[in-house]
């Protein structure tokens, strides 16, 4: 029997299609010996039978996830740094050519994108509730407001700074269950000629690659062109452009503008047609996805059990938020993955959420190299495998589990 909940966009019925069970907060890394009061919730995902928006069945209170100790730092990947610099350069060349343009970024994190605009002298504001990363942004000379973006924040910004030519959010809008308040805020803040641009993991890519580990507490929504098109229309906005992005395992950048203000590009109609042809909102697709997820779990658990029996040493690479879903859903602990190495100082010396696998600095990877490395940061595979080429040269092997379990 599957559960149902109320859609956070249209109030329709959300039908559950996968239950990952009891899961911890994906970005809460407890100190050794400090695991008694870990927070757990039921991680399950469903699709609205009204507007097709894919969403979590249960919401985690936002202050539990986004606070002064939120450990994710956007500049941690050189590929992502380049990605965001290119975003800023594109805005400078397109949307920000008028007199005194104004840009607001939701979830600016450590300021990786806004830094370029600040240096170009563009009037800007980052809205970032996580105090630690907000401070890092401020340290780079970026104007930051340490708050959650919602309707009240937006009206205050509009009153103080005027309307925005660009409102931008990367890997942030999908984190916000109270999306209605965000859209009302965008309505109050966006200039009539402005654009609301956001990029997030694309549900069609998640299904195609069975990248089930994109499902965790912070990722509340999983967008498609169809669901975003319908959502935009509820708030007097129109989807005028979509662009597929290779980052984070497949994303889409959606551009919304006040309805009728811009001519939608052909890419919108094309992606909507592609989604229809792929049956992305069909029950059969969701069942197939659920079967594939179970298959990956079985294969990964079997592989790790065999390696353990053979006495091989396995470590993890990248203490990603995604890896919380994998380790907890598959029951992977320190007995099969000795430790996980990660470049983020705030994660080092801590334990992985729920599984309590220790997190160590990347220097420990080669000290000595393990037989196998389970690549939790598979979305950064190219960057990491290039950097760690000596591991392969020394006979080490990578274990990947998306789109299927394989050793390379
Ligand atoms: N934009 C960066 C990137 O793409 O690397 C950061 C993404 S990070 C995964 C999500 C960010 O959204 C966090 O820094 C978090 O604090 C922020 N956030 C969460 N809720 C928010 C809200 N209501 N308004 C603004 N930012 C929010
Ligand atoms: P993400 O998948 O959410 O971007 O998180 C990537 C994690 O992997 C983050 O904790 C930083 C870590 N990481 C490394 O340890 N080494 C690397 O080379 C890269 C790119 C990321
Ligand atoms: Zn709905």
Max Cα–Cα distance, the chain, nearest Å: 67
What torsion do the CA atoms of 59, 63, 67, 72 make, to the nearest 10 degrees? 0
Co-location of 99 and 239 in the same domain: yes
pLDDT in the model for residue 1: 44
Between CA 376 and CA 352 the distance in angstroms is 12
- Considering the domain boundaries, does residue 62 fall inside one? no
Query: How many domains does the structure of the chain reveal?
Result: 2
Co-location of 385 and 262 in the same domain: no
Co-location of 156 and 261 in the same domain: yes
Ligand of minimum distance to the alpha carbon of 8: 3
Q: How far is the CA of 207 from the centre of ligand 1 (A)?
A: 24
Co-location of 235 and 319 in the same domain: no
Q: How far is the CA of 245 from the centre of ligand 3 (A)?
A: 25
pLDDT in the model for residue 2: 62
What torsion do the CA atoms of 78, 83, 88, 90 make, to the nearest 10 degrees? 140
- Considering the domain boundaries, does residue 316 fall inside one? yes
Query: Which of 324, 342, 352, 401 is the best mutation target for the ligand 2 pocket, counting ligand atoms within 8 Å of the beta carbon and taking the most?
Result: 342
- Considering the domain boundaries, does residue 243 fall inside one? yes
Tell me the CATH number at 313.
3.40.50.720
Q: How far is the CA of 66 from the centre of ligand 3 (A)?
A: 25
**Which distant-in-sequence residues (6+ apart) come within 8 Å of 57 by Cβ?**
3, 5, 14, 16, 42, 44, 45, 46
Range of the domain at 360: 284-407
User: Which of these three, 283, 310, 337, is where a domain ends?
Assistant: 283
Q: Is 219 within 8 Å of 174 (Cβ atoms)?
A: yes
Ligand of minimum distance to the alpha carbon of 364: 2
Co-location of 294 and 377 in the same domain: yes
pTM over 0.95: yes
pLDDT in the model for residue 3: 83
| Ranges under pLDDT 50 in the chain | 1
Q: How far is the CA of 321 from the centre of ligand 1 (A)?
A: 13
Q: How far is the CA of 72 from the centre of ligand 2 (A)?
A: 9
Q: Is 54 within 8 Å of 45 (Cβ atoms)?
A: yes
Q: Which atom of ligand 1 has the smallest separation from the CA of 133?
A: 14
Residue nearest to atom 5 of ligand 2 (CA): 320
Q: Is 239 within 8 Å of 72 (Cβ atoms)?
A: no
Tell me the CATH number at 116.
3.40.50.150
Query: Which of 28, 74, 107, 320 is the best mutation target for the ligand 2 pocket, counting ligand atoms within 8 Å of the beta carbon and taking the most?
Result: 320
With a Cβ cut-off of 6 Å, ligand 1 is lined by 66, 70, 72, 74, 106-107, 109, 127-130, 133, 148-149, 170-172, 175-176
Co-location of 176 and 272 in the same domain: yes
- Considering the domain boundaries, does residue 293 fall inside one? yes
Residue nearest to atom 19 of ligand 2 (CA): 77
Between CA 301 and CA 222 the distance in angstroms is 27
Q: How far is the CA of 167 from the centre of ligand 3 (A)?
A: 24
Q: How far is the CA of 285 from the centre of ligand 2 (A)?
A: 30
Q: Which atom of ligand 1 has the smallest separation from the CA of 169?
A: 1
Residue 127 burial (CB count, 10 A): 24
Environment of ion ligand 3 (residues, CB < 5 A): 7, 9-10, 12, 48, 50-51, 53
């Amino acid at each position: 029997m599957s559960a149902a909940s109320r859609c956070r966009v249209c109030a329709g019925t959300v039908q559950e299609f996968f239950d990952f069970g009891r899961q911890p907060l994906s970005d809460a890394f407890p100190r050794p010996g400090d695991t008694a009061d870990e927070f757990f919730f039921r991680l399950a995902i469903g699709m609205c039978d009204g507007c097709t928006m894919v969403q979590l069945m249960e919401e985690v209170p936002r202050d539990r996830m986004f606070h002064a100790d939120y450990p994710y730092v956007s500049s941690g990947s050189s590929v992502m740094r380049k990605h965001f610099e290119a975003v800023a350069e594109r805005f400078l060349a397109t949307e920000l050519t008028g007199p005194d343009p104004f840009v607001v970024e939701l979830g600016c994190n450590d300021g990786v994108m806004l830094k370029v605009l600040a240096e170009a002298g563009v009037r800007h504001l980052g809205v970032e509730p996580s105090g630690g990363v907000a401070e890092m942004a401020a340290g780079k000379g970026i104007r930051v407001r340490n708050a959650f973006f919602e309707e009240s924040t937006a009206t205050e910004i509009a009153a103080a700074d005027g309307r925005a030519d660009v409102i931008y959010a990367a890997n942030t809008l999908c984190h916000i269950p109270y999306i209605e308040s965000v859209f009302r805020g965008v309505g109050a803040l966006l200039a009539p000629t402005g654009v609301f641009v956001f990029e997030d993991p694309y549900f069609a890519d998640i299904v195609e690659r069975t990248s089930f580990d994109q499902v965790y507490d912070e990722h509340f929504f999983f967008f498609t062109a169809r669901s975003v098109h319908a959502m935009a229309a509820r708030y007097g906005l129109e989807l005028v452009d979509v662009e597929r992005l290779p980052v984070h395992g497949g994303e889409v950048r959606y551009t919304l503008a006040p309805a009728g203000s811009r001519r939608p590009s052909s890419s919108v109609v094309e992606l909507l047609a592609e989604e229809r042809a792929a049956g992305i909102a069909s029950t059969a697709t969701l069942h197939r996805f659920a079967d594939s997820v179970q298959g990956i779990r079985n294969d990964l658990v079997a592989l790790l059990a065999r390696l353990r029996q053979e006495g091989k040493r396995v470590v993890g690479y990248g203490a990603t938020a995604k890896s919380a879903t994998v380790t907890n859903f598959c029951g992977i602990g320190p007995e099969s993955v000795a430790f996980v190495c990660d470049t983020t100082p705030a994660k080092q010396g801590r334990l992985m959420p729920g599984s309590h696998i220790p997190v160590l600095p990347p220097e420990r990877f080669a000290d000595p190299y393990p037989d196998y490395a389970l690549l939790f940061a598979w979305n950064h595979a190219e960057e990491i495998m290039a950097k760690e080429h000596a591991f392969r040269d020394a006979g080490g092997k990578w274990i990947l589990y998306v789109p299927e379990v394989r050793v390379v």
